[in-house]
Structure 1
């Protein structure tokens, strides 16, 4: 099994990750399968997204990350499905473990965004869908930057190009011009 090359975490980073995990576990209770989102769920998701900005691989691999993945699939009143941003980086931009971490981070970022903006199903309003997609792409760029800082071998030219577009203020236009999701 291969993992993203990030090197060994320092004792300080391990302690930070442990503290985040404990605070997330203490802060919320398990969500009932298939039920509506609770205020505690939303708080957990927002904290998880903030922690994932600092160490996306550790958060994805944690018990809280696994809770989130199950919760996002099971929650009955929010739709966190893929969007054209996910399709863009799944379509040959990122591969393997890097793709899995970026996909996780995109999902947790969009879930936190939707919770904060009270957007239950962004597909119902094109402006909400565009805003959700932009938030997700911004999130995956933050995760990518952390992963590359830990190990430059994680670098992907197309994502570096997208960071340059973001840094010039053109990310929203780039996301708006992405091809739509393919029909199922």
Structure 2
């Protein structure tokens, strides 16, 4: 290999490595700048979840809903990942726009629950994860009832079955029996 080829290979490798390192540093810096969740943000999210119970579509498409979606992605000290409840809804239960609204409501419901209970990472404790999952499913059911009241075309038999189980006091047991999310 000639000197120029080695130099070119060294230069290109160094350049690529520098770009990757800068990208990682800027991502870390952005999260460091973001800082942990504040009490005021927590209050905003709890209020948004209550509004979304009554009109989930309007809450999702509002400026506050868009703020929340960015906040949930950016906040460094809370983990709002999916769970078996949202996996169940994604597994063919709801489709299209209804699925998007229910997924949003699941996220805002679980975030409000976690912030109120100060559960930063529910995956660290099985009881916390089950409680978060149940809170998310309960939130989705409230949103679903609101959507069906406005448009009966949104009715989904599998979700109606969950509502019937909730009304009989058996929702927590049904949620425990939901299939776990597949491993990545």
Q: Please report the TM-score for the alignment, with normalisation by the length of structure 1.
A: 0.81
1:94 corresponds to: 94
Q: Which runs of 5+ in 2 are unaligned?
A: 1-31
2:180 corresponds to: 180
1:46 corresponds to: 46
Measured in 2, the distance between the counterparts of 1:54 and 1:132 equals: 21
Structure 1 segments of 4+ aligned residues over 2 angstroms from their partners: 32-35
Measured in 2, the distance between the counterparts of 1:156 and 1:34 equals: 39
1:165 and 1:33, CA in 2 relative to 1: closer, same or farther beyond 3 A? farther
Q: Quick check: 1:111 aligned with 2:105?
A: no
1:121 corresponds to: 121
Measured in 2, the distance between the counterparts of 1:53 and 1:172 equals: 19
2:85 corresponds to: 85
Within-5 A mapping of 1:124-139: 124-139=124-139
Q: Quick check: 1:161 aligned with 2:184?
A: no
The question of whether the paired residues in 2 share the 8 Å contact of 1:33 and 1:74 is answered with: no
1:70-120 Cα distance to aligned partner (Å, 9 max, x none)? 000110000001000000000000000000000000100000000000000
Cα deviation for residue 36 of structure 1 reads 1.0
3-state SS, counterpart of residue 42 of structure 1: helix
Bigger Rg, which one? 2
Whose helix proportion is higher, 1 or 2? 2
Measured in 2, the distance between the counterparts of 1:35 and 1:144 equals: 34
1:11 corresponds to: none
Measured in 2, the distance between the counterparts of 1:124 and 1:100 equals: 27
How many correspondences in the alignment?
Answer: 154
